[in-house]
Structure formats: structure tokens, C-alpha cells
Structure 1
């Protein structure tokens, strides 16, 4: 278990034994064990599909240098022991780099790829408070909006599989029932529809069984957009409704066949 008698990980011993396992050809065995220790003490598996670690060596600043997508919580700081100047630490870090488990926090494109890889592997970004949940969607909207269309189309479906949005359905009595859903399995609610859209939300009204993305996202996205450009409230609403449609329909590839 590479643990001391009191149950706490002996970092020096853990790093050295991990390096020895790498040297002796037991890399696959390591990927199935929580042999890497994070800065907060958690022991994690070095799986590119499950965990990404902040690459301090490749950053101009410290490992915890802020990144645009830090709010996603998918990039973890390694314990400082891994950045010590010794052969064992260097060997483990280089191995993690070869496995594509290291990423710079401020490399937005790389972090988006991590999120997409997580979703493609069946993983889900951990749940959070409503406030953090909304902040994550705003951050993704901005980050994906800065990417070329080809990149958005490539990464969007995977990212969509990794996130869960606050949604709601109506029961037979017309009462809202809260749910968490993948973006591709929910319709845009009326607050998120563009003014010139087909207004399906209006036509469907309270049809039982249909899932709708929660209207609170519209307020958050509108507020985020208002800090980036200046225009009237009405035009801003049209812009943000269009952005919301692009974010869910195009970027996250909503497919109503999966309902």
C-alpha cells in the first residue's frame, strides 16, 4: 500500500517505488492503482481518461497558476514532492507526461481536450453548487467560443457527455420536477430560445416527459455577455439566446433521438 504505519502516505517512498515500477515495466499495473498523490493528499490513478495533473515544469509560474477553466475542477495539483530535483521524482513526472496526464492550467485548448476525453471515457465532471455549476457553463461557453469551429465540433460532443445541466420536466399536473441531464437530452427552455427561433418551448408548453434546460442559465449567460461587450438589453438578450442555442445545439451536439 506504500503507507506508513499511521496510514498516511510516505511520499518519498511512494515516489521512489512508483519510479521503480516504471523502470521495471509495470506501467500498466500502476494505471490501475491510486499511486499518485495530489497536493491535497488524495491518492489518484494516473489514467489520462480519469485524471489530469497541473504541469508546474511547463508553466511560467507555479502549478496552481490560474486558468480560464479551473472552475471545472478537472486539473489537479501534484504533491510538491513530485517537483523535487531527484531522479525518482523526475522519472515519475516524465512518465505522467508521456501518458498525457500533465497539462498547463492556462492552456485552455488542452484543458478542453481533457474534458472531452473524460466524457468520451464515460466520466462526469463532479457535481457542484448551482453557482459553480453556472460558472462552469459560462467558462465553457467562453472557452469554446474562442476555438475554431472545427475544434468545437471535435471536442463538443465529448464535453457534452461529461457535464450535467440543471433541467426540469413537468408532471401530469403541470408541476416542475428538477433533474440533472446531459445537454443533448434536454430542450432549450423558453428563456433560452432566440426571438426568431421556432419557439418550440411555447408550442410544447407543459407537455409531460419533455426535459428543459433550466431558465436560470439564461440570466447567467446574459450577465457574462454584458461584461464582454456593450449593447442594449434587448439586443443582448437576442445575442445570448443565440449563443445559448449554439452552445447546446452545435457545441454539445444535442440529439433529441436520445430522449
Structure 2
């Protein structure tokens, strides 16, 4: 009976989009168009990625079990055992930080993995991702419509991770990443190894990521939502003018309810 429905991401839209005659899908993001990686920056990063330097992976977000962060270090360890030359920068803080620090030390990975803690989004995180990150390693085990996906793409950074519904849906917008079975550390590490050897595939994904993010910038997504709200308000005004049909034929007297 709603005049309109706004669904954040693919899982919500797939589940509820048909419940309203006026539904719209949007993608939560804090990435303004001016912060999306420029063509010149993208070419520089693609050139660096193609130079056979270590493949630079990164993660940003809450260091919490619900984000699957306990799998980040094992994926890198497995990929390096298979011969991949990779590094990982981790941004964020949370209850799993101590576990990650232990994993890094126990695996002798201090030279490959760096914990940065929480940093400012626009002044620190975005510039770092635009200049120094080739691939986003995402072990999310839930299908939440994380703004991380689109914001990372805006930095010209593709995403690889577990096959949750949110990421799988976003990748249908363009091939700017890859997924594997949920919780399969070895398979995800194999993706890292393959991309480490196939840098052209990585650079192609970078271009697609930037293009998708630019078409779904903060301004564009909010403009779409404002237009939808305006249209929904007109629909609501029309519905309000129609004769009302009571949902319940009688009024319940809760004063006498047990």
C-alpha cells in the first residue's frame, strides 16, 4: 500500500522490490564525483600495477567477525605460499584487531601486512586507495549493502571476495571483481594468485570499477532518490483522495483484553 519504496542494494531490492508498484534501487555511497579517481591517476596506477611490482591489496572497514576479517591474513598467507607477490593494507579498528595482529606475527607476515587503524575517509583513505591499492580483499560473510563496495570502486579498485548476494549483485553491473565460495580461503587465495600473474585483467577491472562508481556517485544516487520521493508524494496525494476501506471491520477494545 506504499506510495513508493527505496531499496538499498541488490538483496533488499530482489526481496522487496516487487512489493510496491513504485520501487527504486539505489546504492549507498559517500563518494562524490570529484573524489572518483581521475583518468590520469588511473593510468598511473594501471602502469604501476603492470610493472610486476607486488600486487597491492587492501581492506577497510570494521575489524569485526561479521565482516569476515579473520580470513584476511590466512588468504594472504595462502597466496604467498603459492608464490604470489602480494601485500595487504588493513584500515579500521574493532574487536578482531588483536586476533589479526596475532595472525600477522604468527605467520611472519610483518613485511607483507600493515595495520593502519582508523583514518579519515576523504583526506587519508580515499587518496591512499586511489594511489596505492590495486585490489580490495573483501571477506564479508553477510550480504549487507555496504557502501565500501561502491566507494572502493570509485578509487579505481576492483573487489575480490566471498560470493555474498550484495557483492554478486554489484558485480553484475560490470566485471570489476571476482568471487568464490563463501568461506573458501584457499579458493580466494587462488584468485589472488591468478590476478598476480594476470595484471592486464586487473587493470581492465580498474577501468570498469571507476566507470561504474562514476555512474553511481553520491550526487547521482541522491538525485535519483529525490526524484523518486517527489513522484511518490504525488502518488500518495492521489491515493489519499480515494475512498478509505477499513482494514478491520470492527474496532478492538484493548481495555478489556487479557
Same fold, TM-score > 0.5, yes or no: no
Q: With a CA cutoff of 8 Å and minimum separation of 6, indicate the structure with the bigger relative contact order.
A: 2
TM-score (norm: length of structure 1): 0.24
